[in-house]
Chains A and B, each alone.
Chain A
Amino acid sequence: MAYVAPAPAEVEEVELYHAKSFITKYVFSQDAKVIAIQYSFTAIAIGVVGLVLSSMMRLQLGFPDSFSIIDPADYYQFITMHGMIMVIYLLTALFLGGFGNYLIPLMVGARDMVFPYVNMISYWVYLLAVLILVASFFVEGGPTGAGWTLYPPQAILEGTPGSGGGIILMLVSLIFFIIGFTMGGLNYVVTVLQGRTRGMTLMRMPLTIWGIFIATILALLAFPALFVGGVMLLLDRVLETSFFMPAIISMGEQLEYGGGSPILFQHLFWFFGHPEVYIVGLPAFGIVSDLISVHARRHIFGYRMMVWALVAIGGISFIVWAHHMYVSGMNPWFGFFFATTTLIIAIPTALKVYNWVLTLWKANIRFTIPMLFALGFIVTFVNGGITGLFLGNTAIDVPLSDTMFVVAHFHMVMGVAPLMVIFGAIYHWFPLMSGRMLDETLGRIHFWVTFIGAYSIFLPLHYIGFQGVPRRYFEMGETNFIPPSVQDLNAFVTVVAVMVGFAQILFFYNLFKSMSSGEIAEKNPWKAASLEWQTPEQPPAHGNFGDELPVVYRWAYAYGVPGAKDDFVPQDMHPDEVGGEGAHEASKE
């Protein structure tokens, strides 16, 4: 069977500039891999702050009488900061800035990002945004307690904690985050489009890259809405303009505002906020596809459908935003449109789930730690996905919105599920990044405690949502429709949450210990077919691919190819070396 030899490179390679000093190599580095690690460390560090905040909230909810560490103002500040940190500063930054930077050049066969200098600035602006966010904890009045959605009017009025400096710093931090992200994001998109090596057609890219690529496009289109919303809210707060502020009496006093629309902010926020769910989701979808395929030793099932599903989800995600606003007081007739689009988006999403599971079908599954986390992802994502079908259906959303059902839903689907993927991805790529393996036993304990724990935290919370338990309540007090068993459940959930929190210490211990003294990883330890494992050095050096860039002959999922000498065929293996008949078929598409 013939194959088409790739055309010779059209542009001669230019010698890459190699940094010489320690500072340019590891601090102000332009190497995407170093930037990736900087992004990851910063994101995880601020994520730990978010985790600690959630433990404080859980202690208050679980044992309101024994723990009087926090007062209502603290509670609202903690929920706000927890949400904001986890969604934006941890998940978005880690998936795109962390995994995006590390994996895009390696997986498409590039020496680096196409704009390394801008890439470097992107990280430093992100770090600045994080520092401004942290600073808000130390200003008078503390950080904002407006809820992570920052809805005006309350976000900038006196009755809300942190309406002084806190909200200003929050908005400024977001603005910087978006600026930093835009620099990185343009880089990721251009690198995917322009930096691919010879033979790496778009339809041969690993789904990880597809996921990150589509998510970055979504982010570049969605963040501007948050940006303008943030700037307008900042103007309302600082210069007393009235973009979002109608005539108001606050604390018994007539304010100078008038004529603005609070709902306008909600539209801007969710026009960003819903794609944001997929900005976090799509990289997770992509990465988990690769984890499942590599460790199940089978090609991903229905690759082309998987790509088109990503594109479809990305497209539709821009016309579903108002499903967060069914009971916001917007024109109720919008509900019909948004309920329909929202339930339609479930179809490509369900197809992705089917194809992950069908990848396991007729596979040869190794139960490595990344595979365990991938299975954990399937369970939590299916669970969290189907509860989305409740909330997406307008009429059902009416009794459920703003209850604990919503909290349980989004934590399961965009908290636990993506975290499963992040952990799986770290266990999977750690040998590539460090040249060493993570400890297997610690990893298994970490998985089972985290997975079973997180599932038993969020599954029951759905049901107290049915009961009518509201979210964002400092304490329930006397409420006649809430039975005492709800308090027992809250105590149970808190205990489990603290356990899951402690299990993460195990993970960090494993990470730091293995970095210096872990077992040396053999070359390509998982026997993966994609390019990042085919570099001459492990971990890959600056420039990634040694003297010559690889040439790609097939897709990234040539596992179990009939007749091939191994159970996997690397993307860059010359067809003559594969052995056996049908090997070229591995270059599907």
Chain B
Amino acid sequence: MYVAVALVLVTLGTVVFHLVNPWWFTPIASNWGFIDTTIDITFWVTGTVFIAVLLFTAWCTYKYRYDPNRRSVYEPENKKLEWWLIGLTTIGVIIMLAPGLVAWNEFVTVPKGAAEVEVLAKQWSWGYRFPGKDGVLGKTSVKLIDDDNVFGVDPKDAKGQDDVVIDDSELHLPLDKPVKLLFRSTDVLHNFFVPQFRAKMDIIPGTVTYYWFTPTKVGTYNALCFELCGTGHYLMRGTVIIDKENDFKAWLAEQPTFEKSMKEAARAANQGFAKLESGQAKPGNENSKRVF
């Protein structure tokens, strides 16, 4: 008897907790509402099964509790019942899987007009690169990275000269414009995630990964690294600020291009400041060679 009551309480407790607990998705700020819808559908299907199975179990433990004068019913198989259950489960699976695949198809199909922005991850900070006026990101290589050229942009590639390079954890993006974030890592795995945008992808050294989304709400959002990347993982934070288009353009115009940043670095180096400031620059080490 008390077991049946306990099972009912656990079931109802779970449902009540689901309804009243204060934690739920952050208010969505991107176009990925359909992912949330898929989750709602999944909740309805699985929740029904959860309640049905557990309440039936509770009822059995009440109804068929031990009685020494009784025996269980001997009926080893009931093919019809089993096939019915398999059939119903299959329908449930289809109801969940179909919208999931549709949503995934949208997620992996980047719209033609999406603007490309590069996100550079390294232990344990973020950097960003916009393609500049020509709309094309310049070639890069990990081998070219040094204290001045933190993105490893190829200085010989003309398309890279006008790239806007932001060696800072704050990224601005314009409202309502689809954006394709291209991810690079210089060292280990990382992951760039803003919960309000729903989209997530690992960042892998040696490969460029991506996802796309359209920001739909102006605001300041925390971006967290979502793939364990060493001792400082929990400190690897960025900020994404969604601006109205004009604000965004004004912000972007203030950021240095690759060409400009390198010139400034060269000037600073001539004055001898760079090496003093940067503890990691080792004179004579070809790894930290100057580009200019």
Contacts and interface: CB of A to CB of B under 8 A. Distances in A.
B64 A362 contact: yes
A161 B72 CA distance: 58
Interface string A45-84: 0000000000000000000000000001100100000000
B265 interface: no
A480 B34 CA distance: 24
B76 A299 contact: yes
B89 A350 contact: yes
Tell me whether chain B's interface is mostly helix, strand or loop, or mixed: mixed
Contact of B86 (A247, A340, A351): A351
B198 A398 contact: yes
A327 B231 contact: no
Contacts of A475: 234
Contacts, number: 335
Interface stretch (B90-98, B154-162, B249-257): B90-98
A459 B17 contact: yes
A339 B202 CA distance: 18
28 contacts: A153-B187, A247-B142, A261-B206, A301-B76, A302-B77, A346-B93, A351-B82, A364-B66, A365-B61, A367-B66, A378-B53, A379-B7, A382-B49, A382-B50, A386-B50, A390-B46, A395-B34, A395-B38, A399-B199, A459-B14, A466-B25, A470-B226, A472-B234, A473-B233, A477-B234, A477-B235, A477-B237, A562-B74
A517 interface: no
A383 B50 contact: yes
A568 to B, nearest CB: 10
A399 B234 contact: no
Interface stretch (B128-136, B169-177, B189-197): B189-197
Contact of A393 (B34, B100, B108): B100
A26 interface: no
Given A160-B230, A263-B207, A303-B77, A481 B38 contact: no
B72 A398 contact: no
B205 A247 contact: yes
A305 interface: yes
B23 A480 contact: no
A508 interface: no
B34 to A, nearest CB: 8
A480 B198 contact: no
A399 B93 contact: no
B64 A145 contact: no
B39 interface: yes
A253 interface: yes
Given A343-B97, A399-B195, A473-B234, A363 B42 contact: no
B244 interface: no
A360 B64 contact: yes
Contact of A329 (B7, B39, B47, B201): B201
**A304, A332, A455, A562: most-surrounded residue (chain B CB, <10 A):** A332
Given A249-B122, A560-B73, A145 B231 contact: yes
A298 B198 CA distance: 48
B284 interface: no
A353 B53 contact: yes
B54 A382 contact: yes
B26 interface: yes
A78 to B, nearest CB: 13
Given A336-B101, A472-B233, A485 B76 contact: no
B53 A402 contact: no
Interface in B198-254: 198-207, 209, 220-222, 224, 226-235, 237
Interface string A489-518: 100000000000000000000000000000
A3 interface: no
Contacts of A423: none
A416 interface: no
B266 interface: no
A354 interface: yes
B145 interface: yes
Contacts of A188: none
Interface in B97-143: 97, 99-101, 103-105, 107-108, 122-124, 141-143
A246 B188 contact: no
Nearest to A247: B142
A401 B200 contact: yes
Given A347-B86, A378-B57, A154 B188 contact: yes
A253 B73 CA distance: 73
Interface in A322-378: 327-329, 332-333, 335-336, 339-340, 343-344, 346-347, 350-351, 353-355, 357-358, 360-367, 372, 375, 378
Contact of A372 (B3, B39, B100, B124): B3
Interface string B38-68: 1100100111011001101100110011110
Contacts of B222: 479-481
Shortest 8 CB-CB distances between A and B: which pairs? A246-B206, A468-B195, A395-B103, A159-B230, A298-B72, A154-B188, A393-B100, A560-B72
A362 B101 contact: no
Given A249-B122, A394-B104, A329 B204 contact: yes
Given A360-B61, A364-B67, A466-B24, A248 B46 contact: no
Contacts of B201: 327, 329
Nearest to A385: B46
Given A364-B70, A365-B64, A466-B23, A160 B231 contact: yes
Contact of A463 (B10, B21, B74): B21
A351 B205 contact: no
A198 interface: no
A575 interface: no
Interface string A241-283: 0000011111111100001111100000000000000000000
